[in-house]
Structure 1
């Protein structure tokens, strides 16, 4: 990693950071590190087309193009091209990160069973990863399995609390412990009020279903 470029990017000096990495790539066009770091900067700046174009060009230059596949798959995923993303991920080893990304793709096409299978395997490989735990909670919630979902959001609250985790934990508790659910919503609001309101508005119908006992508590 180019630390100077990273520091500049984190300080908001994006153009300077990109310029440094472009120089690095020009000097060492067969090394993957520069392409990977620059593609991450482009993704964070929501310049997905540029990230994809960069990585596709790099694939013709570097010694091992597969080293670029994960970043390329992530860029395709964020762009909404899920088939291309999955095709690349299927060519990579089943690391926790790759399995998580596969689970995300299947979750987004509402193939929850496949998403669950990949998510559970990712969790086995990295059981403390809150990103994986959040996805597992989302999956179980989408399937209407509140008890299973609750377990994951509770884990996140215990280690790395977020407004989303508190809000969804509250949703899971809504029918069995209304007051505790309200406490969770209050905690979520303290952390991020706009995010909490957004989730509660989005899941208003789910809360009604929970309250009426139509989902598995």
Structure 2
């Protein structure tokens, strides 16, 4: 195991000081290798040192402008800073440079969601689902995006998939309740809102939806 591999192992085990030391040594010994800068950038992201991470990713790109994971790292920095337009550009670059991974498509889709371009987000979130169908967060955000695009049947099916992956997902139950209301099935909606509250008794939206339905059913 070389220094870089050992440093990555330390980072995964939350041994950040040891990781920092080995990453630094690796970069000093191989200053023209972008992978050292990318991994040090990843460590700085873990430590929430975003501006320093940005410098390391940029250095990696300076050394190799085809380093897809450096663009992905840079996109993540901008995403954390809520600079979604810049993040979008970096995630696009990462994909164009060959990073065909679910996370890249998911993050790109989410930059469009945050900019309220839900139609543009949909194909990227769909691609993320295709690449990693068992990721709960990806499935859930895809389901929300389907709903925002008026694809109610697809949203309903996707939220049920979320529950197959995580049976106590309160937000999936809540959104199924909203779908049921859309279909004018108040009894089913009430059942879903109750299930959301069983999973999370502090789910305020589900509690509000339940109260509204009960008032309507009681003729209040």
Q: TM-score, normalised by structure 1?
A: 0.74
Q: 1:170 aligns with which of 174, 182, 188?
A: 174
CA distance in structure 1 between the partners assigned to 2:15 and 2:132 by the alignment: 34
**CA RMSD after TM alignment:** 3.3
Relative contact order higher in (CA < 8 Å, ≥ 6 apart): 1
**Hey, what's the Cα distance between the residues in 2 that align with 1:162 and 1:71?**
32
Residue matched to 1:158: 164
Matches within 5 A, 1:40-51: 40-51=42-53
Matches within 5 A, 1:133-152: 133-142=139-148, 147-152=153-158
Alpha-carbon distance in structure 2 between the residues aligned to 1:25 and 1:152 = 45
User: Counterpart of 1:192?
Assistant: none
Residues 106, 115 of structure 1: 8 Å contact kept = yes
Once residues 43 and 127 of structure 1 are traced to their aligned partners in structure 2, the CA distance between those partners, rounded to angstroms, is 26
Mark the runs of 5 or more structure 2 residues left unpaired by the alignment: 179-185
User: What's the CA shift for 1:136?
Assistant: 0.5
Alpha-carbon distance between aligned partners in 2 of 1:147 and 1:210, rounded to the nearest angstrom: 24
State the partner residue of 1:130: 136
Measure how far apart 1:41 and its partner are. 2.0
1:4-46: CA deviation from partner (whole Å, max 9, x where unpaired): 3234334433222122112112212232332222222222222
Q: Is the 8 A contact 2:193 2:209 kept in 1?
A: no
Note the 1:1-217 alignment, pairs <5 A: 2-62=4-64, 64-91=66-93, 92-93=95-96, 95=100, 96-142=102-148, 147-159=153-165, 161=166, 165-173=169-177, 175=186, 176-186=188-198, 188-189=199-200, 197=202, 200-201=203-204, 203=205, 207=209, 211=213
**TM-score, with normalisation over the residues of structure 2?**
0.73
Corresponding residue for residue 193 of structure 1: none
Larger Rg: 2
Structure 1, unpaired ranges of 5+: 190-195
Return 66-75 or 171-180, whichever deviates more: 171-180
CA separation of 1:30/1:210 partners in 2, compared to 1, >3 Å: closer, same or farther? farther
